[in-house]
Amino acid sequence: QAFEEDPDVYVNSVAIQEALQQRKMASPRNECSIRQVETADCKTFVILLLRAQLVAFSHPAFQKSIRALKAKAATADGFYHLPGRAKLALDVQKLILPRFGFEPSREGVQAMIGHCSQFINEPEVAILLDSINSRLGMDASACHRFRDMVSSLVEP
C-alpha cells in the first residue's frame, strides 16, 4: 500500500501503462482544459503539468546529464544552484510547456512556476515539485528552499 501513495511509483506506472496502451487512465480534462491556461486554474491541471515534467526529468539520459553537472559542481548549497541545469531543463521543458499553454522559453518556465504557486500548499503538488527538483539534482534542503520561494509567489 505504501507504493500506491508514492508519487514516483504512480507517475511511472501511468507512463508505462500509457506507453503500452494497456488501458487509458481516466482523463481529468473534464475538470479543466489543457489547451487554455486561462481556464486551467485547477489543481488537476497543475498536477498533470508537474507529472509530465517528472516523467521527462526521470529519463535515464537526463539523469546521466544531471549527474555529470553535479560531479563538476560544489555542493555548498545542496545544489540549489547548479551551473548548466537551467539550460538542460529548458531543453526538456520546451517540449512540454506548449502542451499546457506556456511559451517554450525561460519566460514560459517562470510563468509556469507562478501558475503552480497557487497550489503549492496542496500536498500532492508539493510532493511532485520536490520530486521534480530532486530529479534536477537538488537535495532535500534545496527542494525545501525552492518550495519556500514558490510559496512567496502566491498572491494573498
Residue-level pLDDT at 2: 54
Residue-wise pLDDT tens digits, 5-24: 454 665 677 667 766 764 44
Place of cell 535515464: 60
Residue-level pLDDT at 37: 38
Residue-level pLDDT at 39: 43
pLDDT band at 31 (very low <50, low <70, confident <90, very high): very low
Of the listed ranges 58-62, 103-107, 120-124, the least confidently predicted one is 58-62
Range list of H helices, the chain:
2-5, 7-20, 43-57, 60-72, 85-96, 106-117, 123-135, 140-151
**H or E element: which one contains 145?**
helix 140-151
Cα 136 to Cα 20, 92, 131, distances in angstroms: 27, 11, 9
